[in-house]
Chains A and B, each alone.
Chain A
Amino acid sequence: GEDVEQSLFLSVREGDSSVINCTYTDSSSTYLYWYKQEPGAGLQLLTYIFSNMDMKQDQRLTVLLNKKDKHLSLRIADTQTGDSAIYFCAEIYSSASKIIFGSGTRLSIRP
């Protein structure tokens, strides 16, 4: 069935890079997304990648897509305290309009 998996927690030191990983199941997914949820708030789109791309870079964010292994990662360079949040990986199924989310990775920053 449809599934998106992420590890639940990640702790990094301020200034280091954070890498959040995600695996998905639908090889026909056309778009894959990263959403960020800050405490007490809804989700906001951080970045997305189209399935015919391997990499997308946007300032401190780098998204890598390995379509063969159905693996998506989000790298945050120079992690700051403001990056503390839950990060959700999501995929859209081309056969339908529904978007499936992973369990979310809670990123915490150590001083």
Chain B
Amino acid sequence: DVKVTQSSRYLVKRTGEKVFLECVQDMDHENMFWYRQDPGLGLRLIYFSYDVKMKEKGDIPEGYSVSREKKERFSLILESASTNQTSMYLCASRTRKGGLGGELFFGEGSRLTVL
């Protein structure tokens, strides 16, 4: 079974702190994604990565950066956390083999609270 693991289920940080959210997948998937989930807004794409060292901005990249140094790991970085970044963060991955329709596999989410 595909497994997408997010390192922290719950985090509490202070305004201005640097925050790292780690995501690891074990199925050699090329594509990885970071979404944030907020009530009534659904999932909004922050960044995605086609492959190692490649990244693309999603719909709400402001205040975030990402790193993909190894194929299995995709990190989301909040350089200076703010209270409006309090949210649930979901990582996902999928393969490009077989075309565009590959299923997205999700981690269980990281709930970040910024005080």
Contacts and interface: CB of A to CB of B under 8 A. Distances in A.
Contacts of B108: 40-42
A48 B101 contact: yes
A96 B57 CA distance: 12
A24 to B, nearest CB: 13
A43 B50 CA distance: 21
A31 B100 contact: yes
**Interface range for A:** 20 to 34
B96 interface: yes
A94 B100 contact: yes
A42 B90 CA distance: 7
Contacts, number: 63
Contacts of A101: 35, 42-44
A94 B41 CA distance: 23
Contacts of B107: 42
A99 B33 contact: yes
Interface of A: 2, 4, 6, 8, 30-31, 33, 35, 40-45, 48, 50, 88, 90, 92, 94, 96-104
A2 B60 CA distance: 13
Interface residues of B, number: 26
Contacts of A4: 42
Interface of B: 4, 31, 33, 35, 40-45, 48, 50, 56, 58-59, 90, 92, 96, 100-101, 103-104, 106-109
Closest 7 A/B residue pairs (Cβ): A42-B106, A103-B42, A101-B43, A31-B101, A43-B106, A42-B108, A45-B103
Most chain B beta-carbon neighbours within 10 Å: one of A30, A33, A48, A100: A100
A85 to B, nearest CB: 14
B106 A44 contact: yes
